[in-house]
């Protein structure tokens, strides 16, 4: 039997290539609002939550400006933009194999809950996941990914010694560490962790097939 019965996944850059859709909607939001971004809208900004990303792109904490841009982004992304999201090759098969082995899967993502559910439904993956958590699933919004993982574990009484987190960024590994969970870095995504940034106790998988094999072997 696999060692880890509860597999918690990040979403963007781990299971899905959402960068083209996200970047298109950020550019659309700035164009709609007639605002020039303070830095390039490229793959380096994908990953953090919406508000934090807009603060980065505007180099501003002006609440009215950020809210206007956020509304523009949501209007674009939540209607049609999210449909441009693609699954990484092999991820669908990996998820099906894990579920077929009787493992429980969950999502813990910085993405907002609405487009997360829309994308999972669009890809036909909703039934794969027992739990879907996002920072804005709760009011007030959870402060960070570490707190979200802690909330997921507590809400569903998931044992730490039988749970693991999978992500593509250093923040993901650090959030796993904060909850005493093991971590495997998905190194096929755009947020791929450089070897020099990998903590010694983290593991890595170069493909969904390799990750699936690691998880099924324990």
Q: Is the pLDDT of residue 73 over 80?
A: yes
Q: Which CATH architecture has domain 19-83?
A: Orthogonal Bundle (1.10)
Q: Which of 43, 41, 49, 83 shows the shortest CA–CA distance to 189? A: 43
Strands (E), the chain: 6-9, 16-17, 86-87, 104-109, 129-134, 163-167, 183-186, 203-205
Question: How confident is the model over 123-148, as pLDDT tens digits?
Answer: 999 999 999 999 999 999 999 999 99
Domain 6-17+86-217 has CATH 1.20.120.640: no
Per-residue model confidence (pLDDT) at position 14 = 95
Give residue 191's pLDDT. 64
Higher pLDDT among residues 18 and 103, named by residue: 103
User: Tell me, what's the pLDDT at 126?
Assistant: 97
Residue 141 DSSP code: P
Predicted confidence at residue 43, as pLDDT, reads 87
- Given a contact cutoff of 8 angstroms between Cβ atoms, the answer to whether 116 and 107 are in contact is yes
- Which tens digits make up the pLDDT trace of 74-112? 999 999 999 999 999 999 999 999 999 999 999 999 999
- Average pLDDT over every residue of 46-51: 89
Res. 47 pLDDT band, cuts 50 70 90: confident
Query: What is the model's pTM?
Result: 0.92
Average pLDDT over all residues of the chain: 95
Confidence at 21, pLDDT banded by 50, 70, 90 = very high
Select from 208, 157, 184 the least CA-distant residue to 8. Answer: 184
pLDDT score recorded for residue 35? 96
Distance in angstroms (rounded) separating the CA atoms of residues 215 and 4: 7
Mean pLDDT to the nearest integer, 194-199 = 85
Determine whether 61 is exposed, middle or buried from the number of CB atoms within 10 Å of its CB (0-12, 13-18, 19+).
Answer: exposed
Confidence of residue 193 (pLDDT cuts 50, 70, 90): confident
pLDDT (0 to 100) of residue 89:
96
The whole-number pLDDT of residue 48 equals 87
CA distances from 168 to 43, 95, 139 (A): 13, 17, 27
192, pLDDT greater than 80? no
Distance of alpha carbon 45 from alpha carbon 42, whole angstroms = 6
Q: Which band of pLDDT confidence, cut at 50, 70 and 90, is reported for residue 58?
A: very high
**Region 159-164: what's the mean pLDDT?**
97
Q: Classify the C-alpha dihedral 195-148-26-206 as positive or negative.
A: positive
**Boundaries of every domain in the chain:** 6-17+86-217, 19-83
What local confidence, expressed as pLDDT, does residue 218 receive? 61
């Amino acid at each position: 039997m696999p060692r880890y019965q509860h597999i918690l996944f990040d979403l963007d850059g781990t299971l899905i290539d959402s960068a083209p859709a996200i970047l298109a909607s950020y550019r659309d939001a700035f164009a709609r609002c007639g605002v020039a971004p303070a830095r390039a809208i490229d793959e380096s900004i994908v990953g953090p939550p919406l508000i934090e990303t807009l603060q980065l792109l505007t180099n501003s904490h002006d609440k009215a400006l950020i809210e206007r841009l956020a509304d523009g982004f949501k209007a674009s992304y939540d209607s049609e933009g999210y449909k441009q999201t693609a699954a990484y090759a092999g991820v669908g098969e990996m998820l099906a194999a894990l579920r077929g082995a009787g493992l429980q899967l969950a999502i813990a993502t910085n993405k907002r809950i609405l487009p997360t559910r829309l994308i999972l439904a669009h890809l036909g993956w909703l039934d794969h996941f027992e739990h879907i958590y996002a920072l804005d699933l709760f009011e007030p919004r959870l402060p960070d990914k570490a707190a979200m993982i802690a909330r997921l574990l507590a809400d569903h009484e998931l044992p730490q010694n039988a749970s693991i987190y999978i992500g593509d960024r250093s923040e993901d590994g650090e959030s796993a560490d904060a909850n005493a969970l093991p971590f495997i870095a998905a190194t096929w995504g755009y947020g791929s962790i450089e070897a020099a940034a990998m903590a010694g106790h983290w593991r890595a998988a170069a493909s969904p097939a390799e990750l699936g094999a690691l998880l099924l072997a324990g």
